[in-house]
Amino acid sequence: MRAIYLIGFMGSGKTSVAKALREKLSVESVDTDEKIELAAEKTIPEIFKIEGENRFRDYETKVLKRLSNRNIIVATGGGIIERTENVTWMKRNGIVIYLHTSWEEIADRLTNDETRPLWKQSEQDRKKLYQNRESNYISASDEIVGTDKKTPKKIAEEIIDLINNN
Ligand code: S3P
């Protein structure tokens, strides 16, 4: 099996879908955000506050490139597509699946979220980020799966079908 990279905006369900895929495929799943927090010995809000977003992106690229194992499911952070080298890496090492979630559903899921620094900005800026990233997610991905109103289990089943038909 090739590595499976899940990409998509904050709140698109990458971590939950990775876990559902892990159960179905019996393959290890990892979350880049979790690995970054371990490497930095800080939470993500602390990294953004103390070291800044650029440093966070450095950690993200480093963590991504350490996961060279082929049999792995990787739940990435929403900004993984901000660096072209990350996209090149993922495309070279596995299949990249974009979990597409509508703006309305994202806004609903993240209403009171306090853990994501880039969500803690004005509604207008959040929406701009969502719109600006959309084309990057599309061009970075091999496959696109819509997630609105679907359970992680259902999304995982759709992903497995896509992989089997590839
Ligand atoms: C980010 C998304 C977050 C996390 C960090 C930055 C982003 O991950 O990596 O807060 O730039 O969109 P999730 O997509 O898992 O929320």
pLDDT for 96-125, tens place per residue?
999 999 999 999 999 989 999 999 999 999
Mutate to test the pocket of ligand 1, among 10, 53, 59, 128 (most ligand atoms within 8 A of CB): 10
Q: How far apart are CA 24 and CA 129, in angstroms?
A: 33
Around ligand 1, the residues with Cβ closer than 6 Å are: 10, 14, 33, 44, 77-79, 116-118
Q: How many CA atoms lie within 13 A of 95 on its CB side?
A: 18
> What pLDDT, on the 0 to 100 scale, is given for residue 112?
87
Rg of the chain in Å (alpha carbons) = 15
Q: How far apart are CA 23 and CA 28, in angstroms?
A: 9
Residue 165 Cα to ligand 1 midpoint, Å, equals: 30
Q: E strands within 11-157?
A: 28-31, 72-75, 94-100, 143-146
74 beta partners? 5, 30
pTM greater than 0.95: yes
Going by C-alpha positions, the residue among 74, 80, 75, 78 that lies closest to residue 59 is 80
Residue 70 Cα to ligand 1 midpoint, Å, equals: 24
Q: How far apart are CA 155 and CA 161, in angstroms?
A: 10
> What pLDDT, on the 0 to 100 scale, is given for residue 105?
97
